[in-house]
Amino acid sequence: MGRVRSTSVKSIGARHQFKKERNRRVYSVMRRLFFWGAILGAVLGVFVLGFVVHLSSKLPDVDGISTFIPSETTKIYSADEVLLADLHEEENRMAVDFDHISSVLVQTVIAVEDTNFYRHHGVDIKGIMRALYVDIMAGAFVQGGSTLTQQLARNLFLTRQRKLTRKVSEMILAIQIERRFTKTDILELYLNQVYWGHNCYGIESASRYYFGKTSQDITLAESALLVGLLKGPELYSPYRSMKRAKARQKIVLERMATLGLITHAQKKKAFESELLLADHSKFRYKAPYFTSHVIKQLIEMYGEEALYTSGMKVFTSLDYRLQKQAEVVVDKYVEYGSTPKWVRGQKVPSLNYSQAALLALDPRNGYVKAMQGGAEFLSHQFNRTTQAKRQPGSSFKPFVYLAALQNNFSPGSFIEDAPVTYNTVDGPYSPRNYTQKYLGNLPMRKALERSVNVVAIKLNYLLGPKKVVSVAKQIGIKSPLKPILSLPLGANEVTMMELVSAYGVFANNGVRVEPVTILKIEDRYGTPLFEHRGKEERVFNSNLVATLVQMMKGVINYGTGKNARLPRPLAGKTGTTSDYRDAWFIGFVPQLVTGTWVGNDDNSPTYKVTGGWVPAMMWREFMKEALVSVPQQDFRRPRGLVQRKVNWLTGKLATEFSPKDSVTAEQYWKGFEPTEYDVANSFWGKRKAAVSDESFSDFFD
């Protein structure tokens, strides 16, 4: 028994000693592990600290955000505040203040992208741990756990590569940003930086692109759709798949309802509401011919890089209402020319022209109000109002008649319309009339009304072609002009802009104002960069111009321009080149001058299209709409003219014996009126010496 007890006691003691020894060893191991763990932790901490310090030293200074100027879209506006173009390269961005962003949209972004935005200091540890768990389970980078501040840091300073160094850098920058900027500042920067698809950077560009409205006016339904895009802007774009876009919108609305930001009724209503997406036309710009012309000017002024990145606001002269009418008219009459027509008793399949153009400007200030440089801009981006040089045909004749008026010819001066041949260095030159007929003695104003070629050539010969060229240059024609006999028939080439602008001098009583398209330019902050200051220049005597305009009124009232008639004072001139290659009508009222043209880019002939036909009809249709709100105003009446009744056949003062059907009342410069009476072969001729002029004063005036 005693042995047994002794053995039992020893056994208990041995176990106690063994346990004690074991605990001592465990404690020793734990102490060593703790010691080495502490050392390892310290080393690791130093390494991490060094790594962070090293990364921080290479990271940009977040204070630079205060002076950061992102690329911003340049915008071009018409005079009636229609947005014509957004100009950008990779980034279509329009920055906007936080106060001008819908509070609903701000709430939506926070709810979906960073619920704890107002509770963290740049980094959301819970969010990171949650994302880390998802990434580990997926075996790949699936969730980033990035806060809005981290996303902002990445967008401004870093790449989108999924690397540990980038993630740490992102967190460091986010913490620094939070220490230096308010939450409102961070939200404003984020919303102006983030990508929303279709080259839209920033909420304002996105709102305008998707819904055609400002970010301040975005509704709950629209906000949910936009925020849903952030997960994959191109994938979830409603323009590519409305089904996918609606699925994302539903997720966003459910998240907001879960957070108590909206009720379930609001969620249901928003999801079921119709989304009215902005309609994007096939053209990149509105009024593409005009806008492209403006863009070329802007590149010359500021360079291409500044144009596409600086966020300028460009205000132009274009009246978009008139521009739309110009587009309708040009398209209509290009189509008109492609359909069968009866021409002089013969049916033809088409009028054989494929292009047309229209240009309108205000002669008082030079503002270009409408510019349609052709049909089908996408196929033919060549601007026929500014780039094409064409022969103006008889629309050049007013310069000849103005030169004649300047040299003491009067509207009633008679010129014989009869065959004539001139010897030139190139051989004999025999001008012909369009009708191939000759009208005999014609007063100058009637020759202009009927666009008689021979009379214009004779005047050019009498004046000297150099004189006519000088007048045309004085009025505003800039293209080279050869002083040749055929000058009045438009033998030289000019642009429509030159021709219409020169006619603007007629409409503006001899005062020239250079055509202008850009009125004002502001930088992104509204600071003026450029402001057009028009310069008026008197280039011709107002009374001479008024006399010419009175003659040009007759072109529309009685002559070749009858198809342009409207119930108000108008003046203008037709123009048709040889072989019918170009057909023009240029006409005006005191407030607006407009030119129309039809022809072919390859200079092939049309089928007998004259300026008094299709272009005059185009002009009338455009001006009828353009002048709806323009008050009727007659042109200035010329002074210094006296009226005399003359015998058309002789050009001499009529008497009671002159044939009644040959008597016409014509106007002459005082002192240059006819003084010889029509006395040939009349009874009156036998008694002319016995009767004084005063006896017939009542008859003459």
Higher pLDDT: 381 or 596? It is: 596
Give the integer Cα–Cα distance in Å for 274 and 270: 9
- Comparison of pLDDT for 648 and 134, the residue scoring more: 648
How far apart are the two ends of the chain, measured CA to CA in Å?
172
Question: Is-contact 392 611, C-beta < 8 A?
Answer: no
State the chain's mean pLDDT as an integer.
86
Residue 587: pLDDT over 50: yes
| Residue 84 and residue 114 in contact, taking contact as beta carbons nearer than 8 Å | no
Token pair in block for residue 325: 């009418």
Do 62 and 180 meet the contact criterion of CB atoms below 8 Å apart? yes
What is the distance between the alpha carbons of residues 617 and 669, in angstroms, rounded to a whole number?
Answer: 35
Q: Which two tokens stand for residue 682?
A: 């009349």
Q: Which residues contact residue 484 at a Cβ distance below 8 angstroms, ignoring those fewer than 6 apart?
A: 465, 491
CB 609 within 8 A of CB 350: no
Question: What residues contact residue 133 under an 8 Å CB cut-off, 6+ apart?
Answer: none
User: Which residue's structure tokens are 């342009």?
Assistant: 564
pLDDT beyond 60 at 62 = no
- Which one is predicted more confidently, 654 or 308? 654
Rg, Å, the chain Cα set? 42
pTM over the 0.95 mark? no
Least confident segment among 192-196, 363-367, 663-667: 192-196
Residue keyed to tokens 């438009």? 490
Q: Helices marked H in 78-122 — which ranges? A: 103-113
Q: In the prediction, which pLDDT does 116 show?
A: 87
Token pair of 221, please? Answer: 């339904």
Task: Return the pLDDT at 433.
Answer: 92
Q: Which 3 state secondary structure label does DSSP give 341?
A: strand
With a cut of 50, say whether residue 690 has pLDDT above it: no
Q: Which residue has the higher pLDDT, 209 or 326?
A: 326
DSSP E strand boundaries for 463-581: 511-513, 518-522, 528-531, 536-538, 571-576
Please tell me the distance from the alpha carbon of residue 497 to that of residue 597, in angstroms, as a whole number.
12
Stretch 483-489: mean pLDDT: 94
530-572 pLDDT, tens digit per residue, is 999 989 999 999 999 999 999 999 999 999 999 999 999 999 9
Is the pLDDT assigned to residue 54 strictly greater than 90?
no
The H or E element containing residue 206 is helix 203-211
Closest to 579 (Cα-Cα) out of 347, 352, 384: 352
pLDDT value, residue 156: 75
Q: What span, in angstroms and rounded, lies between the C-alpha atoms of 401 and 555?
A: 13
Please report the pLDDT score of residue 362 as a whole number: 98
Distance between alpha carbon 350 and the CA centroid of its chain, in Å?
Answer: 33
CB distance 486 to 468 below 8 Å: no
At residue 450 the predicted structure's pLDDT band, cuts being 50, 70 and 90, is very high
Measured CA to CA, the distance from residue 466 to residue 468 in angstroms comes to 5
Q: How far is Cα 338 from Cα 130, in angstroms, rounded to an integer?
A: 69
pLDDT at residue 22 tops 80: no
* Residue 52 pLDDT level (bands cut at 50, 70, 90): very low
Which of left, alpha, beta for 531 (phi over 0: left; psi -120 to 50: alpha)? beta
**Predicted local confidence at residue 145, as pLDDT:** 64
Is residue 225 within 8 Å of residue 118, measured between CB atoms? no
Q: How far is CA 71 from CA 61, 68, 310, 397, 429, in A?
A: 19, 10, 6, 52, 63
- Output phi, psi for 476, to 5 deg: 140, 5
pLDDT at 65 over 90: no
Model confidence at 31: pLDDT above 80 = no
Position 45 scores a pLDDT of 52
- Of residues 407, 450, 369, the one with CA closest to residue 629: 369
Q: How far apart are CA 39 and CA 41, in angstroms?
A: 5
Using one digit for the tens of pLDDT, what is the confidence trace for 324-366? 999 999 999 999 999 999 988 899 999 999 999 999 999 999 9
Q: How confident is the model at residue 648 (pLDDT cuts 50, 70, 90)?
A: confident
Q: Is the pLDDT of residue 144 over 80?
A: no
- CA atoms of 151 and 144, how far apart (whole Å): 10
H-run or E-run covering 370: strand 368-372
pLDDT at site 489: 93
The DSSP element (H or E) to which 668 belongs, if any, is strand 663-669
Residues 6+ apart with CB under 8 A from 487: 396, 400, 460, 465, 468, 469, 481
String of b and e for 419-428 (b: at least 16 CB within 10 Å)?
eeeeeeeeee
**DSSP annotation string for 432-474:** --TTS---EEEEHHHHHHTT-HHHHHHHHHHH-HHHHHHHHHH
> Please, which pLDDT band fits residue 649 given cuts at 50, 70 and 90?
confident
The Cα–Cα gap between 681 and 683 comes to: 7
Nearest to 109 by CA among 173, 71, 152: 152
At residue 1 the predicted structure's pLDDT band, cuts being 50, 70 and 90, is very low
Q: Is 367 helix (H, G, I), strand (E, B) or coil?
A: strand
**Is the predicted pLDDT of residue 385 greater than 90, yes or no?**
yes
What pLDDT, on the 0 to 100 scale, is given for residue 602?
93
Q: Give pLDDT, residue 231.
A: 87
CA 628 to chain CA centroid, nearest Å:
24
Q: Is 199 left (phi over 0), alpha (psi -120 to 50) or beta?
A: left
CB neighbour list of residue 478: distance below 8 Å, 6 or more residues apart: 498
Residue 694 predicted with pLDDT over 60: no
Q: Alpha-carbon distance 507 to 497, whole Å? A: 15
More confidently predicted of 619 and 117: 619
Question: 297 or 129, which is more confident?
Answer: 297
Phi, psi of 91 (to 5 degrees): -115, 120
- Per the model's pLDDT, the better-predicted residue between 153 and 83 turns out to be 83
Q: What share of the chain is helix, strand, coil (3-state, %, to 5)?
A: 45, 15, 40
Using DSSP, state whether 110 is helix, strand or coil.
helix
Over residues 234-269, the pLDDT tens digits come to 889 999 899 999 999 999 999 999 999 999 999 999
Rounded to whole angstroms, the Cα distance separating 244 from 231 reads 12
Nearest to 315 by CA among 527, 534, 522, 592: 522
pLDDT range class, residue 284, cuts 50, 70, 90:
confident
Question: How far apart, in Å, are the Cα atoms of 644 and each of 16, 298, 494, 696?
Answer: 149, 56, 38, 12
